Every structure is written in C-alpha cells, then in structure tokens.
Structure 1
C-alpha cells in the first residue's frame, strides 16, 4: 500500500483527470466497432480507475459512474482448432 499527500488543488486536479478518463472509457465501451477482447480490457481499466475516483469524491458524485459488469462472460476468447 502506498500513501500520497496532496494539496487541495492537486486533489481536485486528480479528481478531474480520473473523471475525464472514466467518461472517455464509457464512450469507448459503448462503441460497437470495438472488439470484445479489447472491451474486456477496457472494462478492467474502468473498474481500476473507478476505485481510484471513489477515493477522491463523495458518494453522491461517484454513484453516477457505477457500472455493472456487462462484458464478464460474454466475450470469452474463442479457440480455433
């Protein structure tokens, strides 16, 4: 575990950066042209960034970014024999 001390301004900047990244990932996850394997990796990244975002914002703000796992079993790697 790591600890980081941030000023209020740095904390606000981190919150802003994480929020923008979450919004960009949401947009990309809704794109039907992106392959399932890529979407699964993006979903994992979304979950990690969301956990960080939760640490910087009150519950009221981060609840809008709660997401159900839509790609868990739907996009399994297909094996070709």
Structure 2
C-alpha cells in the first residue's frame, strides 16, 4: 500500500482530472468504430479510475460516474 500527502487544492485538481478522463472513456465506449478488445481495456481502465475517484471525490460526485445500467455487464 502506498500513501499520498496532498492538500485540498491538489485533491480537487486530481478529482477534476479523473472525472474528465472518465467522461472521455464513457464517450469512447459508446463509439461503434472502436474494436471490442480495445473497449475491454478501456473498461478495465474505467474501473481503476473510478476507484481512484472514490478516494478523492464526494459521494455525490462519484454517483455521476457510477457504471450505467446499459454498461453494467461490461463495466
């Protein structure tokens, strides 16, 4: 296990960056032109980033990025 010491401003910036990356992944997962193998790797990345978001964002903010119903089986 690793620890990280950051201040409140850095925490907010980290949450912002993770949310933007999650949004990009959600958009790309809906793109039919992307190969299923690539989407599988994207889903794995989404899970890792979502777990990171849970550590730095509020519950309300995290609810917005919970895996959606239509993607539940995939995420």
Q: Runs ≥4 in structure 1, deviation > 3 angstroms?
A: none
RMSD: 1.1
Matched, 1:7 2:11: no
Shift of 1:63: 1.0
Deviations 1:26-62 (A, max 9, x none): 0100100000000000000000000000111111110
Considering only CA atoms, is the larger Rg found in Structure 1 or Structure 2?
Answer: 1
2:18 is matched with which residue? 18
Query: Where does the alignment leave 5 or more consecutive residues of structure 2 unmatched?
Result: none
TM-score normalised over the length of structure 1: 0.83
Which whole-Å CA distance do the structure 2 matches of 1:4 and 1:34 have between them?
35
Higher helix share: 2
* Aligned partner of residue 64 in structure 2, secondary structure: helix
Distance in 2 of aligned mates of 1:31 and 1:63? 23
Count of aligned pairs between the two proteins: 71
Matches of 1:51 and 1:35, distance apart in 2: 25
User: 2:36 aligned with 1:32, yes or no?
Assistant: no
- Give 1:58-69 correspondences, 5 Å limit: 58-67=58-67, 68-69=72-73
